[in-house]
Amino acid sequence: MTTPTWGEPSGPLTSAEFRVATQAIMANIEQVIEGKSATVRLALAVLIAEGHLLIEDVPGVGKTKLAKALARSIDCSVRRIQFTPDLLPSDVTGVSVYNQETRDFEFKPGAVFANLVVGDEINRASPKTQSALLECMEERQVTVDGTTYELQAPFMVVATQNPIEMEGTYPLPEAQRDRFTARIAMGYPDPRAELAMLSAHGDHDPLNDLRAVADAAMVRRLIETARAVHAADAVQQYAIALVTATREAPEIRLGASPRSTLQLLRTAKAVAALEGRDYVLPDDLQALAVPVLAHRIIPTADAQLNRRTTDAIVSEIVHRLPLPHARNPYDTRDGRASYESRGR
């Protein structure tokens, strides 16, 4: 695959430049991840939305492959952390070590000091170690021994976890889950994709052949471009209505936070940019509601006894909530994108 050559980056990209850059990244990842275009697209959208991604599924379906393929597609600093029960918080954030020559303490950076941090099986570490990521994921900084160290931009954590029912796992605390912009599941491949995987992965690992098709500077320009995507007042109010509905639903004990509203809109802007639009549609928010909101809510005991998943609860909220009536002034498609409520 030909690697695009970028000039000195400065400012947002044009629509054509954005499309070329993002399609190159997605095509690169799909050389390794077969038949999961929607999952790859959402992972890239989270990166462009300046968020963090949680990939939850059973072992062997390609969670770590996706994270590593995304990392290798971008020519920037990448660190991988294998979370284990004996991992310490200082292994993640760094530690101050006494230097006998200078007779002073010097800081040894931990694994989070990178543009893209791949956390493998994050829920196999203790809650104390998991909490070491709280500050860096939200504030893009690390504080050790009273000194604050800024992290590089862009900064993204891509963490994988096994279902909490599996042996040797610790549930992520609510504050940790809320810092992940989206949670996705890989799922099993369909027979055709699995057959293609056998052909591609039979004699060698295509991950070893991946070459970077973008760099950190280009990612910063992608982020800046997505920030400029317009979200009409009606769309913003619809985002608030979706999140508010999770706080009022009788089946939910703890609803989504205001942080989730912000991240829902940011991700919707990234998705709109990936689709070549400079405005957000309510459909973008609907499509993102489950991956962005479901992992943040806690169902009631009755809902858990009835085996009601948070995905199903959020999906029902989306179908029940009426769409905004006001039309996006940036949408010029002959009235076909009217936001009138439509029957379900």
**What pLDDT sits at residue 166?**
63
Specify whether the CB–CB gap between 92 and 133 falls below 8 A: yes
The residue to which tokens 């050790």 are assigned: 144
CA distances from 8 to 214, 215, 216, 218, 221 (A): 12, 11, 12, 9, 11
Q: Do residues 56 and 161 touch, judged by C-beta distance below 8 A?
A: yes
Mean pLDDT of the region 154-177: 81
pLDDT of residue 59: 77
The pLDDT assigned to 327 comes to 52
255-293 pLDDT tens trace: 999 999 999 999 999 999 999 999 999 999 999 999 999
User: φ, ψ for residue 170 (rounded to 5)?
Assistant: -120, 130
Domain boundaries, the chain: 229-325
- State how far the Cα of 270 lies from the Cα of 12, in Å rounded to an integer: 13
- Residue 41: band (very low, low, confident or very high) from pLDDT cuts 50, 70, 90: very high
Mean pLDDT of 296-308: 90
**Structure tokens belonging to residue 167:** 């042996």
On the question of pLDDT at 3 being above 50, the answer is: no
Average of per-residue pLDDT across 82-101: 88
**Residue in this structure with the two tokens 């860096």, named with its chain if needed:** 136
Q: What percent of the chain has pLDDT over 70?
A: 89
How many Å apart are CA 184 and CA 26, to the nearest integer? 16
- Calculate mean pLDDT across residues 120-149: 88
Count of residues for the chain? 344
Of all residues in the chain, the percent with pLDDT exceeding 90 is: 45
Q: What is the mean pLDDT of residues 90-100?
A: 88
Task: Give the H or E element holding residue 236.
Answer: helix 233-248
Q: How confident is the model at residue 167 (pLDDT cuts 50, 70, 90)?
A: low
What is the residue-wise DSSP string for 264-280?
HHHHHHHHHHHTT-SB-
Better pLDDT: 199 or 259: 259
pLDDT (0 to 100) of residue 144 = 87
Query: What's the confidence (pLDDT) of residue 178?
Result: 93
Start-to-end CA distance of the chain, whole Å, equals: 44
Q: What is the pLDDT of residue 165?
A: 59
In angstroms, rounded to a whole number, what is the distance separating the alpha carbons of residues 261 and 258?
A: 5
State the pLDDT confidence band at 245, using cuts at 50, 70 and 90: very high
Give the pLDDT score at 238.
Answer: 95
Among 53-67, 156-170, 237-251, 294-308, the range scoring the smallest mean pLDDT is 156-170
Q: Is pLDDT at 9 greater than 60 in this prediction?
A: no
Question: Quick one: pLDDT at residue 260?
Answer: 95
197 pLDDT higher than 80: no
pLDDT confidence of residue 344: 36
Mean of the per-residue pLDDT values of the chain: 85
Matching CATH number, 229-325, of 1.20.1250.20, 1.10.8.80, 2.70.98.50, 3.40.640.10? 1.10.8.80
Q: For residue 164, what pLDDT band results from cuts at 50, 70 and 90?
A: low
Predicted TM-score (pTM) of this structure: 0.85
How many C-beta neighbours within 10 Å does residue 86 have?
Answer: 8
Amino acid of residue 257? S
Confidence of residue 326 (pLDDT cuts 50, 70, 90): low
**What does the pLDDT look like over 212-243, one tens digit per residue?**
999 989 999 999 999 999 999 999 999 999 99
Q: How far apart are CA 18 and CA 26, in angstroms?
A: 12
Of 141-155, 188-202, 277-291, 302-316, the poorest mean pLDDT is in: 188-202
Count CB-CB contacts under 10 A for residue 323. 19
pLDDT above 70 for 154:
yes
